[in-house]
Amino acid sequence: MLELSHVHKVYRVGAFGGSTLRAVRDVNLVVKPGEVVSLIGESGSGKSTIGKMVLGLTKPSQGTITFEGKDVTRLRGFGEKKEYYRHVQGVFQDPFSSFNPIFKADRVFEMIRSSYFPDVSDADWREKVLDVIGTVRLDPANVLNKYPHQLSGGQLQRLLIARALLLDIRLLVADEIISMLDASTRIDVLNLLADLKERGLGILFVTHDLSLGNYVSDRSVILRKGAIAELGPTRRVFENPLHPYSRHLLSCVPQLHRTWAEVDAELAANPPEDVVLPTVSEGDDSAPLVEAEEGHFVGIDQR
Ligand SMILES: Nc1ncnc2c1ncn2[C@@H]1O[C@H](COP(=O)(O)OP(=O)(O)O)[C@@H](O)[C@H]1O
Ligand SMILES: [Mg+2]
């Protein structure tokens, strides 16, 4: 359904764009219907850049991203983009920033209505909204007609997922959507993702919480400096991490409810052995993987 092939992203940085920053390097990955793929990596490893490229918010410097066979990087014009967003939606870390504080929270539904369903009657629309609110396990009485500040982060996050469900979405990019929620709400939102997966949605799940993230995900991708260090069935990656970086990362998070800030601090205080970047030879910025066991791949230089 979603396929990234040799995707690179180089940002121009510095005062006059004089230097470059390699945010994503030679990433290949696939998300199938009904599959949750976790993107795991410390801050700055390129997770959000991958999410943004999939959502068409920034273009890869090299490589292709296809969704149901269509090249996402070549969507032309308003019509094609709109059609794409009918099937692919993103939800991000900070739910408050997705709502305008001066309007009621359910205005986000109206925006979908005006762009995608202008001809639906009020009664039918109301039914549709109540239906998706039920799907995300919210009580309409608690969330409709409320301002964002009257709702919790978890409620807002679920409203954003409900909004996406008004469309015929097939792929959801969830970028650290549970990181700002408290522990019990995190589990509720993860259960919701599991429901969506049951309905056949593909989910690219940028995760923050390694201890909970693995619980819904079918496959995990460990990113290190923009390149895939390891990719495989989640259980295999967590039980038998093969890349030294994955081992290090996973050894830092045995406890439940540990924050990413704590993990980052520990990684900074106790850096992993410096891995050789997956560069095959000078000037070659490919990051090849080898298949160590069925479906379980490791960066070539890291065995
Ligand atoms: N718009 C941008 N311009 C320049 N550099 C960027 C931009 N967005 C992200 N970066 C850099 O790219 C790298 C990867 O960032 P990001 O994808 O946000 O990582 P993550 O989500 O894993 O924390 C970081 O070094 C970040 O500073
Ligand atoms: Mg990010």
Give the residue extent of every domain in the chain: 2-302
Q: Is the CB of residue 260 below 6 angstroms from any atom belonging to ligand 1?
A: no
The CA distance from 296 to 303, in Å, is: 13
Q: Nearest-CA neighbor of 153 among 179, 191, 173, 187?
A: 179
pLDDT of residue 303: 39
pLDDT of residue 287: 83
Ligand positioned closest to the Cα atom of 176: 2
- Atom 21 of ligand 1 has which residue's CA nearest to it? 48
pLDDT of residue 277: 47
Q: Where are the beta strands (DSSP E) in the chain?
A: 2-13, 19-31, 36-40, 62-67, 70-71, 88-91, 171-175, 202-206, 219-224, 227-233, 289-293, 296-299
pLDDT of residue 274: 55
Does 48 have pLDDT greater than 70? yes
- Atom 24 of ligand 1 has which residue's CA nearest to it? 44
Does 209 have pLDDT greater than 70? no
Q: Is the CB of residue 207 below 6 angstroms from any atom belonging to ligand 1?
A: no
pLDDT digits (tens, 9 = 90+) for 17-27: 678 889 999 99
pLDDT of residue 278: 47
Looking at ligand 1, which atom is closest to the CA of residue 176? Answer: 21
Does 213 have pLDDT greater than 70? no
Q: Ligand 2 centroid to 225 CA: how many Å?
A: 13
Q: Nearest-CA neighbor of 3 among 55, 62, 41, 54?
A: 54
Q: What is the mean pLDDT of the chain?
A: 87
pLDDT of residue 279: 45
Looking at ligand 1, which atom is closest to the CA of residue 45? Answer: 22
Does 137 have pLDDT greater than 70? yes
Mean pLDDT of 121-130: 96
pLDDT digits (tens, 9 = 90+) for 241-294: 889 888 888 876 655 455 666 766 776 777 666 555 444 455 677 888 989 889
End-to-end CA gap in the chain? 30
Q: Which of 41-50, 177-186, 270-279 has the highest mean pLDDT?
A: 41-50
Q: Is the CB of residue 219 below 6 angstroms from any atom belonging to ligand 1?
A: no
Q: Nearest-CA neighbor of 94 among 142, 19, 157?
A: 157
Q: Percentage of the chain with pLDDT > 90?
A: 58
Q: Does pTM top 0.85 for this prediction?
A: yes
Please give the structure tokens belonging to residue 178.
């549970």
Domain 2-302 has CATH 3.40.50.300: yes
Q: In this structure, are strands 227-233 and 219-224 parallel, antiparallel, or unpaired?
A: antiparallel
Q: Is the CB of residue 21 below 6 angstroms from any atom belonging to ligand 1?
A: yes
Looking at ligand 1, which atom is closest to the CA of residue 206? Answer: 21
